[in-house]
Chains A and B, each alone.
Chain A
């Protein structure tokens, strides 16, 4: 029983750096695989678009569809500010989507490791604060003392909680799906294991993964556009 259920992160290679013991884990390998797939796809897509035809073939149509729908999503939420953020949102959307879906292909989803999602959350946090200071200048700091000066600690915690709740949301959802699938695979007898878990994969990996990807990108966009005042772009 104990050996069947397996959803933990495994260390593969151990090395020492600056006196610390560091591990190359399954998460790193899965992130690399996801990145490799994305890079290969990007290179082929780039080649295809450079040699775009008058009458697009299937692959060109798919690329155009992906780019168009990502741009539309960003345009709908951010409006006039969309221009600068299309690249970032599109990139993290594809990365998180592929990471969540990688559970289907037998990998351990990289987003089920808090290290990955915290990094994504911190990138978002830096972008939020950068835009806050860029557009609001001094008001970015005085805003923390409103409406009353002694509320400063609460406002500060509110700002810091943003990346933590963002990353915990993604992490919790993907990890709960992974754990549940591992438990089900461990519990079921062999002859039910073929076919039946597919329905659960549809929910835990595809449905939940897509929704969480959408939510992460959506919240990133909402938080960033909250910090940009009206009429500035």
Chain B
């Protein structure tokens, strides 16, 4: 244990934290899948409104994706612009 420097410890924990932050991807994945499923069934019921349904579905999916992207932003910050290294 004594070989680990402070910097190395922070980098290792940041990498683990970045991995954990990407767990945020689960929610948008499920949400987008549900939206796409309902979109598909809506097209099945009313094939004439395919354009409107597709654009509404994409809009909803894009909004649902935001939470996942917050996780991604945290992961990128931890990996490439680590603010914790400056606190040493």
* Residues of A that sit less than 8 Å from B by CB: 8, 76, 165, 168-169, 171-173, 175-176, 179, 211-212, 214-215, 218-219, 222
* Residue in contact with A165 in the complex, picked from B59, B66, B76, B80, CB distance below 8 Å: B66
Q: How far is the CA of A176 from the CA of B25 in the complex (A)?
A: 13
Cβ-defined contact, A169 with B69, below 8 A: yes
Closest chain B CB from A6 CB (angstroms): 12
Q: Which 3 A-B pairs have the closest CB atoms?
A: A172-B69, A215-B62, A172-B72
Can you name 15 A-B residue pairings with CB atoms under 8 Å? A165-B66, A168-B66, A168-B69, A169-B62, A169-B69, A172-B73, A173-B65, A175-B76, A176-B72, A179-B76, A215-B58, A215-B62, A218-B55, A218-B58, A219-B62
**B residues apposed to A, CB below 8 Å:** 55, 58-59, 62-63, 65-66, 69-70, 72-73, 76, 80
Q: Which of B59, B72, B80 contacts A215 (CB 8 A)?
A: B59
Compute how far the CA of A219 lies from the CA of B56 in the bound complex, rounded to whole angstroms. Answer: 11
**Neighbouring B residues of A173 by C-beta, 8 Å:** 65, 69
Instruction: Tell me how far the C-beta of B27 lies from the nearest C-beta in chain A, rounded to whole angstroms.
Output: 15
Q: A212-B62, A218-B58 are in contact. List 8 more A-B contacts (CB 8 A).
A: A168-B70, A168-B73, A211-B58, A215-B58, A215-B59, A218-B55, A219-B59, A219-B62
Given the complex, which residues of B lie within 8 Å of A211, measured CB to CB?
58, 62
Q: Please measure, in the bound complex, the distance between the C-alpha atom of A179 and the C-alpha atom of B58, giving whole angstroms.
A: 24
List B contacts of A171 (CB < 8 A).
73
CB-defined contacts of B70 to chain A, threshold 8 Å: 168
Smallest beta-carbon distance B15→chain A, Å: 15
Residues of A within 8 Å of B55, CB to CB, are 76, 214, 218
User: Do residues A214 and B66 form an inter-chain contact, with CB atoms below 8 A?
Assistant: no
Contacts of B73 in A (CB 8 A): 168, 171-172
Asked whether B59 lies within 8 Å of A218 as measured between CB atoms, the reply is yes
Give A172 to B58 CA distance when docked, in angstroms. 17
Min CB distance, A216 to chain B, in Å?
9
Asked if A169 contacts B65 (CB within 8 A), the reply is yes
